[in-house]
Structure 1
Amino acid sequence: MNTDEIVKYIELENQANQLIETVAKKNNCDSQDMKWWHISNYFEQNHKIVLVPLNKHEFSTIIADTYGIYGLTLKDNRMAMICYNNECTQTRQHFTIMHEIGHFLLHKNNQTYPSLMQENDYTEEDQIFEKEANNMAGMLLANKKAIQSLLNESANYIYRNYQLNIK
Structure 2
Amino acid sequence: MTEQIDEYLSFSDKINDYISAVMVANNIGYENYDCSYLWDYVKSKGVFMRGFPFDGVAKDRISGMIVKDDLETTIGFNQNMSEKRKNFTISHEITHYLFHMNENKTIFTDTEQSLHYSYNEELHEFQANIGASAILVPDIVLFRFLKKGWNLAQLSHHFGISESALYIRLIHTMQANFGVSFVAAKMNADTIRYKFSGKGQRAAVELGTNLEARLFKTNRFIEAL
TM-score by length of 2: 0.55
Which residue number corresponds to residue 140 of structure 1?
135
What aligned pairs does 1:6-155 form with structure 2 within 5 A after superposition? 6-31=5-30, 33-45=32-44, 47-57=45-55, 65-76=58-69, 79-109=72-102, 110-114=105-109, 127-154=122-149
Q: How many residues align?
A: 143
2:4 partner amino acid = E
Could you tell me which runs of 5 or more consecutive residues in structure 2 were left unpaired when the two chains were aligned: 112-119, 151-200, 203-225
Residue ranges of structure 1 left out of the alignment (5+ in a row) = 118-124, 160-167
Give CA deviations for 1:90-130 in whole Å, capped at 9, x if unaligned.
1111100100011112212333124x88xxxxxxx862221
Q: Percent identity?
A: 23
Counterpart contact for 2:88–2:136, Cα < 8 Å: yes
Change (3 A) 1:19 1:79: farther
* CA–CA distance in structure 2, aligned partners of residues 20 and 74 of structure 1: 23
Is contact 1:32-1:145 (8 Å) kept? no
Deviation of the 1:77 alpha carbon: 5.5
Whole-angstrom CA distance in 2 between matches of 1:6 and 1:106 = 19
Local SS of the residue matching 1:154: coil
C-alpha distance in structure 2 between counterparts of 1:78 and 1:32, whole Å: 37
Larger radius of gyration: 1
Mapped contact 2:101–2:107 kept (Cα < 8 A): no
Q: Distance in 2 between matches of 1:32 and 1:12?
A: 24
Runs of 4+ in 1 over 6 A off after TM superposition: none
For 2:16 and 2:30, locate their aligned partners in 1 and report how far apart those are by CA, in whole Å: 9
TM-score, with normalisation over the residues of structure 1? 0.72
Shift in CA distance, 78/12, structure 1 to aligned 2, threshold 3 Å: farther
Distance 1:32 1:137 in 2: 20
In angstroms, what is the RMSD of aligned CA positions? 2.8
Alpha-carbon distance, 1:41 to partner: 0.3
Aligned residue in 1 for 2:179: none
2:59·2:80 contact (CA, 8 Å) conserved in 1?
no
Distance 2:124 2:7 in 1: 12
Tell me which residue corresponds to 2:223. none
